[in-house]
Amino acid sequence: MPLSLLALAAGAFGIGTTEFVIMGLLTQVSEDLGISIPTAGMLISGYAVGVAVGAPVLTLLTRQWPRKRLLMGLMLIFIAGNAAAALAPSYGWLMAARVLTSLTHGTFFGVGAVVATGLVPADKRASAIALMFSGLTLATLLGVPTGAWIGQGFGWRMAFAAVVGVGLLALAILALFVPRDQGRPPVVALRQELAVLRQGPLWLGLGITVFGFAGVFALYTYVEPLLTQITHMSGPAVAITLLLFGAGLAAGNLLGGRLADRGVVRALVLTLVALMVTLAAGRRASGPRPAPPPAARGVACAAGTSRSSHANWPP
């Protein structure tokens, strides 16, 4: 695989870290800013709204920009947003910083996926996308547990400061390894850009993403207070559980890319069946108690496989 794919994965890792790191910091943020945990959880909702709005708007506005320059510009906004979050004096400031950061999310992954597929042969495109998205899943493997550890030991602001460092490193790697010959995308009329919305498979893929990950993140958003306040886990135990979840997500993402290269529909069917079996097994094993970390890892693995499998859904 080209080094440029690793550069894209580095950028994905930075963006994924800032998306997920707050999930391990809700208790610290709520106590420091004097807000409730549900109110702190709205910082994740605000980020999601920014992604939903920013992705289509920025993609359309920047569709004629040279792709490498666009990727680097998005990383600069990402760095500025996280720096503002680290310095936030109030909840409103922090929310604004989160929304600013989120505007880069969807466009980076959309443009990055196009760049990734142009770097490899046609039969390796799903694997290339999966490799880029492995940066996002590695963020759940390393970013969330590390952010939780930093937040517990040094304060949540230091966690966002660390994310700024990740962004600077990703910017440097993108500058060094993404080839300049990506150039400008071909000129396409806005009407042609919007015509893709008439494609049935697009809406099917969006539906899988929306409903599948709505279920995952409804729980994952509040995983830290749930584990500490309901299951009474210690800080180290929470970090280990988050690490297991991230490991399953990373492994499933890479496996899904390989399966999708052989057949997208079959890969989706297999991963959805695996997800249902894992959920049933975890519920049976846990009884009245929460599912154990191995079950969480299995769910994450199947979820990650599903994401990378439908990334190469045929038009």
Nearest CA to 14 out of 127, 136, 194 is that of 136
Residue 98 forms part of a structural domain: yes
Cα 74 to Cα 90: distance, rounded to the nearest angstrom: 25
The residue ranges of DSSP E strands in the chain, in sequence order, are none
Q: Of 29-38, 111-120, 130-139, 305-314, give the lowest mean pLDDT range.
A: 305-314
Q: What is the pLDDT of residue 25?
A: 86
**Tens of pLDDT along 207-254?**
877 777 777 777 777 777 877 777 777 767 777 777 787 777 777 767
Is residue 12, in this structure, part of any structural domain at all? Answer: yes
Residue 79 has pLDDT above 70, yes or no: yes
Residue from 137, 138, 113 nearest 313 by CA = 113
The CATH number of whichever domain residue 165 belongs to comes to 1.20.1250.20
Cα angle value 264/271/309 (rounded, 5°): 35
* Arithmetic mean of pLDDT, 125-150: 82
Task: For CA atoms 61, 205, 261, 278, give the dihedral sign.
Answer: positive
Give the whole-angstrom CA distance, residue 153 versus residue 76: 28
In a domain, 193, yes or no: no
Nearest partner of 256 among 248, 278, 113, judged by Cα: 248
CA distance 271 to 266: 9
Q: Which one of 9-13, 36-40, 94-98 scores highest in mean pLDDT?
A: 94-98
Average pLDDT, the chain: 78
CA distances from 104 to 80, 127, 191, 213, 264 (A): 11, 23, 23, 20, 28
Find all residues with CB under 8 Å of 121, minimum gap 6, and list them: none
Note down the domain range covering 175. Answer: 3-181+199-286
Q: Does residue 309 form part of some domain? A: no
Position 99 in a domain: yes
One-character DSSP codes across 12-60: HHHHHHHHHGGGG-HHHHHHHHT--HHHHHHHHHHHHHHHHHHHHHHHH
Q: Name the least confident of 196-200, 220-224, 258-262, 283-287.
A: 283-287
Token pair 């939903």 is at which residue?
Answer: 52
The answer to the question of residue 222 being in a domain is yes
Asked if residue 47 is part of any domain, the answer here is yes
Whether the per-residue pLDDT at 115 is higher than 70: the answer is yes
Q: How many domains, the chain? A: 1
Domain membership of residue 14 (yes or no) is yes
- Highest-confidence segment of 176-185, 250-259, 269-278: 269-278
